[in-house]
């Protein structure tokens, strides 16, 4: 499974050429999924109903994964450990715990959001041009 963070999904939705080339080269047998919290972040960025409906159509082919209750308990523990010491965000911890529970890397460029979680593997799936933060 390839688990995407919001920044990678945004690059794909904006048709950023390196993101599209990477995605097109993926093995069709590989499932691409989004943590449910990433989907919610993307919905939060919609400015109107038309954008939200377009987003729903765009996301329809992707799997959506949610943590189990025990994973949420672990996310709470991580949040307590890391919120004050590392400025960890609530959604970032929930997204990270989703990847950890599934035993898969998180495909993201937001490494600073996760760098203090040594057990989480992150992958930058393609090269970004300097200043190409979308």
CA atoms within 13 A on the CB side of 96: 26
Kindly report the pTM of this predicted structure. Answer: 0.91
Q: Which domains does the chain have, with CATH numbers?
A: 2-123 (3.40.50.1010)
Contact 9, 58 (CB under 8 A): no
Residue among 48, 46, 35, 49 at smallest CA distance from 13: 46
What's the pLDDT tens digit per position in 70-118?
A: 999 999 999 999 999 999 999 999 999 999 999 999 999 998 999 999 9
CB 23 within 8 Å of CB 124: no
The residue with tokens 């010491």 is: 85
């Amino acid at each position: 499974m390839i688990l995407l963070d919001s920044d990678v999904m945004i690059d794909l939705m904006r048709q950023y050429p390196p993101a599209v080339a990477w995605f097109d080269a993926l093995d069709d047998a590989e499932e691409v999924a989004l943590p449910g919290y990433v989907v919610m972040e993307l919905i939060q960025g919609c400015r109107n109903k038309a954008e939200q409906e377009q987003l729903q159509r765009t996301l329809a082919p992707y799997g959506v994964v949610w943590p189990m209750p025990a994973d949420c308990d672990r996310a709470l523990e991580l949040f307590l450990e890391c919120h004050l010491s590392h400025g960890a965000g609530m959604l970032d911890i929930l997204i990270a715990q989703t990847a950890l529970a599934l035993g898969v890397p998180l495909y993201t460029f937001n490494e600073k959001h996760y760098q203090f979680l040594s057990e989480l593997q992150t992958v930058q799936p393609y090269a970004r041009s300097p200043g190409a933060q979308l």
